[in-house]
Amino acid sequence: MSKVIEVDCSTGISTERDMTEAELAAQAAMQAQAEEARAAEEADKAAKEIAKAELLVKLGITADEAKLLLS
């Protein structure tokens, strides 16, 4: 089970305890949300790379030639 450290700033006393069920659920939800965001970002990046490659094929030029045109 995951641990939580609580610090009372007025006394400097720290207490270590197990996470509650609600805290564990919130942590799992945040992890799932972060993984979904990462997967969506990777999918978007892959889609852009595919679109770029398709455009280069349509134009009949290489990536180096496109860079030269845009410089």
Assess whether pLDDT exceeds 80 at residue 1: no
What's the first-to-final CA gap in the chain, in angstroms?
Answer: 56
Q: Can you give the pLDDT at residue 64?
A: 94
1 contact partners, CB below 8 Å, separation of at least 6: 18, 19, 24
Q: Give per-residue pLDDT as tens, 11-69.
A: 999 999 999 999 999 999 999 999 999 999 999 999 999 999 999 999 999 999 999 99
From the list 30, 34, 33, the residue with the least C-alpha distance to 19 is 30
From the list 6, 35, 30, the residue with the least C-alpha distance to 18 is 6
Q: Can you give the pLDDT at residue 30?
A: 97
| The amino acid at 28 | A
Q: What predicted TM-score, i.e. pTM, was given to this entire model? A: 0.64
